[in-house]
Structure 1
Amino acid sequence: MKIMNRHKNTLVLLFFLSLFCFHTLFTHASDSITQSELIKDGDTLVSDGRNFEMGFFSFNDSSSRYVGIWYYNVSVPAYIWVANREKPIKGREGLLRMKNDGNLVVLDENKNEVWSTNMSNPMNNSQAVIQDDGNLVLSNKDDGVLLWQSFDKPTDTFLPGMKIPVSDEMKETKVFRSWKSKTDPSFGNYTMGIDSKTSSPQIVIWEGEERMWRSGYWDGRLFTGVYNMTGYYQFGFKLNEDEKGGRYFTFSKLNKSDKVMFQIGWDGYERMFKWDENEKLWNVLQKEPVNKCEYYNHCGSFGVCDMSNSPTCGCMKGFEPRDKDNWKREIWSGGCKRRTPLKAEIVNGSDSVGEDGFLVQRCMKFPDFAQLVSDPVVYDSKGCESICLQNITCTAYAYVLGMGCMVWYEELVDVQNQENLGNKMNIRLAHSELDHSDKKTKIWIITSTVVGGLICLGIFVWLMLRFKRKLKVSTASRSKNSNLQVSGGIKSREFSAAFSESTEAYSLEVNQLSGPELPVFNFSYIAIATDDFSEENKLGQGGFGPVYKGKLPGGEQIAVKKLSKRSSQGSEEFKNEMMLIAKLQHRNLVRLLGCSIQGEEKLLVYEYMPNKSLDFFLFDPVKQALLDWTKRFEIIEGIALGLLYLHRDSRLRIIHRDLKASNILLDENMNPKISDFGMARIFGGNEDEANTNRVVGTYGYMAPEYAMEGLFSIKSDVYSFGVLLLEIISGRRNTSFRHTDDSSLIGYAWHLWSEQRVFELIDPSIRDSSPKDNVLRCIHIGMLCVQDSAARRPNMSSVLLMLESEATTLPLPKQPLMVTSMRRFDDIEVHTECHDVSNDLTVTMVTGR
């Protein structure tokens, strides 16, 4: 009997333990606290989607306890908000509770308030909820009216969804304050916020009351002074305006599931973190200041900081150090002064003194304290220059797309030379600092140019005669040894002989084009690597000529593009491609290994793409099944990243002008690489559109404004990308519809779109296995890209954002007029040179009859 009672008591005990565990689990899973409820140290609130957690925490073995919010279920805690940062609780007897007056408070071990939401108006029915974006919201439980939120009282962290206010009172707003140390969240020495002293705000870090770093001005797309504002860092920023006219910055994540945050660290550095679940760590995606030139006004007034120079500080042209001794000791804070005073600064100046002028300075981080000219008459650079000249204290101006006319008065401070920014400003100088073109100088320049030209011509003729003699010897030697092949490649002595040939065999043209970015190969060396351009090594016939496979001594495979003498590509296009692609470095662009020019023979040497080109798979009924939706989306995304680099992130702003499936090469992992830059166009400065009488490209991929009027811009490439996107989804060429009622793939896609049957557009080989929502979103993006109006097409940064963020709302596309007017191309004569396989770098030229 005693044994039975003992079992009975055990079962009862287990029952109550189970109830307690379930109760504890339920309590911990709650996301809110209401009137008269409390949270003990050890209990937490967890947001509904399990993104954030709120409760008590401490560091190491410290007895100091804080109430904070952190990312949920992350092995390396990241505290994004702290309530009682100045008043820690000693021990684990603290409480978080809702008072009867509706305020949320933190109580210490003696039940004293160490923190409160501090609402002045009592509310007897409030509740606090930890939301999925990390915001702690206090609201009226009955009507949901917002009473207080932690996003309005941030500590050191900026989260996606948070609003950073931009004051309309032209002042500095310090929003975030650093911790005192890595394990002490009390107030530190650094603050971060928005400076809105001009109409164009900028982000600033202060150390105490002194500026430590600034982002440069917001131009509607990015902060103009941030050196690496690309990729994830840029896409999410947006300056918004509320219904009352107030302005605020927000940041949106590319992917909903990402855990990201910006933080002003205890050491003064602003960092952007992203959680890597695989590596179990917080990756730093961006950090400011990134080098000593980023520190505020490192070189003083009128000084320019340049990390590529030694020493890093220099004076602007027309200026000299204020203290030359200090400058030699690399004490640059004193800055620089004018060598020659401006005309208005000369007392009792002579009328013979020339007028002031402006020196153009490129690739600059704009100086601090710019003033925006709101005069509507000032709509270009000339008007901006006139405004500056009217004020004797104006020292510089710039006309910037997205901001307008910017002028600077008095001293120019915090100036950097940053190669990839492309900002251009005009610095005011005395006439004598600019006027170096008197008649004697002109005569001397002209005479020197003529004499130098004659000398160069003589050297060129001598080299060409010598080159022809050596070419005969070289050709005879190569023919004699053409049979000396061994398994796995050519004998090493053949390569040694090829390398040892005199560099005088190169033409002056190659010597002018070569440099550290563009290796120049000996022609004989490439001939040996391709087995003297044998038919067995021929990969295909491109529009510029044949493409051959080769093998270098180290075993590296190459693809060699040989310019045909009958090719439509001339020397200018060849040099264009050679120099352009040599300056481009991106994983989604084909890599140029080098070039070779010998007489009329012109070669470009590329990395070899074993999987040929996209069209080789995409339009083959059998091979297209190898491209499932995951791989196709990766290809789409890779092409978009490559185009974004060309349009915005490279040192040069480049329009490709011939984007198509055959110009997308695939590496061994099927990663896409954009190729063929023979018809690419470089844009400079604020140039965003150009006109040409020579329309080049491929039928079916050209934007309407380009095909009909010769107008091209980055939006021309966006149109080509849209066509390519629809081709990748459908597995059909745009031109395969030419003799149908729909006229083109675009017409067919619109036909299905308008009848809500767009799912039929998807390639049947992947239709059933593809995520419907994702594919339909891509079709939608493709339709936006192929709109007739260039202004309505998104740019590539927007395209990438739409591809990677399902949260982005897509506008509805307009019906393409070209759907019904493609037959207008019947009045255009199309010249196409055939091509068939990968590594073909072709061009189609279109001219009006």
Structure 2
Amino acid sequence: MAIGYLSAVVVLTLLVIPDHCHAKDILTAGDSLPDGQTLISAGETFELGFFSPGRSTNRYVGIWYYNFSTRTVLWVANRQDPVRDESGRLGIADDGNLVVLDGNQNVLWSTGLPPLSSNSSSTTTVQLLENGNLMVNDSGGVARWESFENPTDTYLPGMRIGLDLRTNVNQLLRSWKSEDDPAAGNFSMGVDPRRSTQIFIWEGTGPGVPRWRSGRWNGQVFTGIVDMISTYLYGFRLSDFLQEQKMYFYYNANDSLHRYVLKWNGTVEHLIRQDDTGVWSRYWEAPTTECETYNKCGRYGSCSDENTPICSCLRGFVPAVAEEWKRGNWSSGCVRRRALLCESDGSGNQGEDDGFWKIERVKLPDSSDWDNNANDEDGCRTACSRNCSCRAFAYVDGIGCLAWGVDLVDIQIFSSGGNNMYLRLASSELDRTAKEQNKRSRPAATATVPFDLGNDDGNRKQQVTRSFHILDESKDKQCEELPVLSFESIITSTSNFSKANLLGVGGFGPVYKGILPGGQEVAVKRLSRNSGQGHDEFKNEIILIAQLQHRNLVRILGCCIQGEEKILVYEYMPNRSLDVILFDPKRKRLLDWNSRYNIIEGVARGLLYLHRDSRLRIIHRDLKASNILLDSEMSPKISDFGMARMFGTDEKETNTQRVVGTFGYMSPEYAMQGVFSVKSDVYSFGVLLLEIICGMKNSSFMHQKSSLNLLGYAWKSWNEDNVMEFVDPTIRDSCSLTQVSKCVNVGLLCVQDRANDRPTMSSVMVMLEGGAAAISQPRRPTFVADIGGDTESSTDKLIGISSNNSITQLIGR
């Protein structure tokens, strides 16, 4: 297909200029390279010209090794649109682009650069460098385009292709369609777009489905390539992606005669030319065995080329579909044989604690999370054991602590090398040695707090029952997820709900400080009898938050039901909720820029866990400053899951007849149509982020001069490159303009009107942690125009607004 946007006028220069001598490695404006002539790099290593691949008679412009046959083609220009005969020509068009023409002067391929003026284009040059890179340079010798950044199927020393962290554009190698056809084939190869430092081969169009995976980079080797040793690396390095904002791997061999090729059949080869014989030798290839095929044995299945059959279930797991497994169809994988104690409902399960089983020589599973707070294997084990959703962990030299909160996939057992992985299993699946190891490594209980409802192991109800007799044995079924405290113990701990212990009043009732036997401080939420919401929200919170464990989520420790009394007990947060400090003119000074930035990141991590990494997958639906609690170190914890909803892995969005939430934080599609998704929470997060920066509440903010609400003012300040005007004056001297600009940009991306325009929380985390401002241009928010200021002006549209502006039901007029 010819490129239509170049007109005949653009290439007129090429039509009238005859062939003449030209520099050996350079093509200048006015020159053209007809079929049959070539450019040769200065050191005579590479050659550029027209060629026909294999048995084909089509003609393509390519680069190959000089004095080698064209079977060593490294790059192809017009791979999708060949010249059908030998009338083709390569030259510089009068707009400065490098183009390939056929005999009828149709443009078959172009570098696609913005047009230059006639004066500038007349000084454009094209040069084939000694490293194999073809460069289009301007009059000052600065590269405007280069083949190294537009690869086909081959990776050469000096190339730096990879993932742009600012634009999320991933430069990929794309295989040939066949040995005789260099058109884009069915396989691509590149850096994992999830920023995991892994290399993938994908099959199919777009990114496709994974075919092969390298494993994470540990600073020396890829952990999933069993025979990759340091002497094999030839100077492989990972870019400083935090500084460069581009994640790529590069290597510098002693000479140029090394190449990686993604072949048309989906395998990648590393080829090296032997100096003594001049023959190209295959040094490494993947995938070469069935076990190297991505996730050959399904979830929780492991693959070993030394076994027959090659697939087996991990210890403690059995085939999900036994008949398929017997027939050699392992795609359905394996399922757990015995449930974990920490996942049980507590009824009749009095067994020992779950533990970890060590598996050696493992190609570690895909989709791991990195925990930078664990400094050794014991710390990694402790972090995983405290989180029931953690399926396995590994501590890898050069990387640190890796944990898996999702199903384990693409596991291979090597004959040598690999890493140790610790798989979480029910106690009955462990042998005596493993049990003893788990007991020795389990952190000791805190002796100074004899009544510790915060114990994270799955057996905490039994432990509390054995140690203290303050549980209500006649508990309601609703509270079976948690330790159940007697109402008398609650009365005692809060001094009969005295005003002196009142911490605040939320949408569902007051919250009191309590002190349990042994001195443990807790927060006691007493659901209001008049809220009309207590029963459903109480039950919802128990079901959800009791099973969630993350450092940025508040922990629920116990509950109490007696008559109409419904009480939840949480860990105590000494700095109370974010709104108490952030919106107080005097106390907000306690939150400098670093504290606010840490709160933003912490809330984002917690929300990402809810949306993607928890086994329940949850939409919070009421994220706001008053539901962010602060511990003694000002670390944030998301609270109040009474309005939260679970959603399935295949669900994109859902709707409700009962809209719940808070003025100023609700997304347009939710407030107007009752449609909610993870993007509803993203909108709320964006509002909260902007509030944290500005120090003002969205629902009550109105700029004096412009009459804009908070979101409109944020957009105006950012769009006019004046974000410091938007920043809370109390922190302007302590904040970084770069960080503030980035955060405001992220916040505005999150509050865009259309849900599809908003980023996911995983993208938000990448932007926040990436060290540079997000470059996406947000759209101006419009929905917020009518909900700023006095919320009472809209009460005719609502039924049941609580004292903190939480909406229990929204009905259109």
TM-score (norm 2): 0.51
* Secondary structure of the structure 1 residue equivalent to 2:646: strand
- Cα 1:625–1:569 shift into 2, 3 Å: same
* Cross-structure match for 1:120: 66
* Cross-structure match for 1:814: 779
**Is the counterpart of residue 295 in structure 1 residue 306 in structure 2?**
no
- Cα 1:195–1:626 shift into 2, 3 Å: closer
**Is the counterpart of residue 593 in structure 1 residue 562 in structure 2?**
no
**Is the counterpart of residue 101 in structure 1 residue 43 in structure 2?**
yes
* Secondary structure of the structure 2 residue equivalent to 1:638: helix
Match among 155, 159, 162 for residue 152 of structure 1: 155
* Cross-structure match for 1:565: 529
- Cα 1:750–1:520 shift into 2, 3 Å: same
Tell me if the contact between 2:239 and 2:246 (Cα under 8 Å) persists in the aligned partners.
no
Superposition deviation, residue 103 in structure 1: 5.1
Tell me if the contact between 1:505 and 1:598 (Cα under 8 Å) persists in the aligned partners.
no
Tell me if the contact between 1:594 and 1:606 (Cα under 8 Å) persists in the aligned partners.
yes
- Cα 1:156–1:120 shift into 2, 3 Å: closer
Deviations 1:552-594 (A, max 9, x none): 3343321111122222323221111111011211111111122
**Residues 742-753 of structure 1 mapped to structure 2, 5 A cutoff:** 742=707, 744-753=709-718
Match among 570, 591, 598 for residue 627 of structure 1: 591
* Secondary structure of the structure 1 residue equivalent to 2:660: strand
* Cross-structure match for 1:531: 495
**Residues 353-372 of structure 1 mapped to structure 2, 5 A cutoff:** none
* Secondary structure of the structure 1 residue equivalent to 2:243: coil
1:750, 1:157 → 2: CA distance?
A: 36
1:537, 1:608 → 2: CA distance?
A: 12
* Cross-structure match for 1:551: 515
* Secondary structure of the structure 1 residue equivalent to 2:670: helix
* Secondary structure of the structure 2 residue equivalent to 1:567: coil
* Cross-structure match for 2:738: 773
Tell me if the contact between 1:543 and 1:833 (Cα under 8 Å) persists in the aligned partners.
yes
Match among 786, 792, 797 for residue 828 of structure 1: 797
Which amino acid in structure 2 is aligned with residue 768 of structure 1? D
* Cross-structure match for 1:583: 547
Match among 669, 673, 684 for residue 720 of structure 1: 684
* Cross-structure match for 1:507: 476
Deviations 1:245-275 (A, max 9, x none): xxxxx999762279988899xxxxxxxxxxx
Which amino acid in structure 2 is aligned with residue 101 of structure 1? G
**Is the counterpart of residue 764 in structure 1 residue 706 in structure 2?**
no
Tell me if the contact between 2:711 and 2:784 (Cα under 8 Å) persists in the aligned partners.
yes
Tell me if the contact between 2:238 and 2:250 (Cα under 8 Å) persists in the aligned partners.
no
**Residues 295-374 of structure 1 mapped to structure 2, 5 A cutoff:** 295=303, 305=313, 309=316, 312-314=317-319, 316=321, 319=324, 321=326, 335=328
* Cross-structure match for 1:663: 627
* Secondary structure of the structure 2 residue equivalent to 1:621: coil
Which amino acid in structure 2 is aligned with residue 295 of structure 1? C
Superposition deviation, residue 662 in structure 1: 0.6
- Cα 1:830–1:752 shift into 2, 3 Å: farther
Deviations 1:742-783 (A, max 9, x none): 363123334445555443211111123322232122222222
* Secondary structure of the structure 2 residue equivalent to 1:549: strand
Tell me if the contact between 2:745 and 2:773 (Cα under 8 Å) persists in the aligned partners.
no
* Cross-structure match for 1:801: 766
Match among 682, 689, 696 for residue 653 of structure 2: 689
* Secondary structure of the structure 2 residue equivalent to 1:505: coil
2:128, 2:323 → 1: CA distance?
A: 66
1:156, 1:140 → 2: CA distance?
A: 16
Superposition deviation, residue 645 in structure 1: 1.2
Which amino acid in structure 1 is aligned with residue 643 of structure 2? M
Superposition deviation, residue 787 in structure 1: 1.6
5+ residue gaps, structure 1: 1-98, 105-116, 130-135, 177-191, 206-212, 216-225, 227-232, 234-249, 265-287, 323-334, 338-358, 365-416, 425-487, 837-841
Superposition deviation, residue 795 in structure 1: 1.7
Superposition deviation, residue 138 in structure 1: 9.4
Superposition deviation, residue 835 in structure 1: 5.7
- Cα 1:739–1:320 shift into 2, 3 Å: closer
Which amino acid in structure 1 is aligned with residue 475 of structure 2? Y
Deviations 1:647-679 (A, max 9, x none): 112112211111111111111110111111100
**Residues 42-81 of structure 1 mapped to structure 2, 5 A cutoff:** none
Which amino acid in structure 2 is aligned with residue 570 of structure 1? G
* Cross-structure match for 1:88: none
**Is the counterpart of residue 645 in structure 1 residue 609 in structure 2?**
yes
- Cα 1:297–1:545 shift into 2, 3 Å: farther
Which amino acid in structure 2 is aligned with residue 765 of structure 1? T
1:156, 1:743 → 2: CA distance?
A: 49
1:705, 1:336 → 2: CA distance?
A: 44
Superposition deviation, residue 547 in structure 1: 1.0
TM-score (norm 1): 0.49
Superposition deviation, residue 147 in structure 1: 8.3
Tell me if the contact between 2:162 and 2:246 (Cα under 8 Å) persists in the aligned partners.
no
1:747, 1:786 → 2: CA distance?
A: 10
Superposition deviation, residue 826 in structure 1: 5.9
**Residues 371-390 of structure 1 mapped to structure 2, 5 A cutoff:** none
* Cross-structure match for 1:574: 538
* Secondary structure of the structure 2 residue equivalent to 1:561: strand
Larger Rg: 1
Tell me if the contact between 1:194 and 1:202 (Cα under 8 Å) persists in the aligned partners.
no
**Residues 400-419 of structure 1 mapped to structure 2, 5 A cutoff:** none
Tell me if the contact between 1:292 and 1:298 (Cα under 8 Å) persists in the aligned partners.
no
Superposition deviation, residue 728 in structure 1: 0.9
Q: CA RMSD in A?
A: 5.1
2:717, 2:158 → 1: CA distance?
A: 52
* Cross-structure match for 1:256: 243
* Secondary structure of the structure 2 residue equivalent to 1:531: coil
* Cross-structure match for 1:381: none
Which amino acid in structure 1 is aligned with residue 476 of structure 2? S
Superposition deviation, residue 214 in structure 1: 8.3
Deviations 1:258-311 (A, max 9, x none): 9988899xxxxxxxxxxxxxxxxxxxxxxx99998343699988978355x3xx
Superposition deviation, residue 698 in structure 1: 0.6
Q: Hey, which of these two has a bigger chunk of helix by percent?
A: 1
* Cross-structure match for 1:165: 173
Tell me if the contact between 2:239 and 2:249 (Cα under 8 Å) persists in the aligned partners.
no
- Cα 1:553–1:294 shift into 2, 3 Å: farther
Superposition deviation, residue 625 in structure 1: 1.5
Which amino acid in structure 2 is aligned with residue 795 of structure 1? T
Superposition deviation, residue 606 in structure 1: 1.0
Which amino acid in structure 1 is aligned with residue 66 of structure 2? S
5+ residue gaps, structure 2: 1-40, 47-62, 69-126, 165-169, 178-184, 192-197, 217-221, 223-236, 252-293, 337-390, 393-403, 410-448, 452-463
* Secondary structure of the structure 2 residue equivalent to 1:500: coil
Tell me if the contact between 2:643 and 2:660 (Cα under 8 Å) persists in the aligned partners.
yes
Tell me if the contact between 2:203 and 2:209 (Cα under 8 Å) persists in the aligned partners.
no
- Cα 1:502–1:753 shift into 2, 3 Å: closer
* Secondary structure of the structure 1 residue equivalent to 2:666: coil
2:250, 2:722 → 1: CA distance?
A: 47
- Cα 1:522–1:158 shift into 2, 3 Å: farther
- Cα 1:782–1:773 shift into 2, 3 Å: same
Deviations 1:114-168 (A, max 9, x none): xxx994179xx98779xxxxxx979799957768899923699997679552425
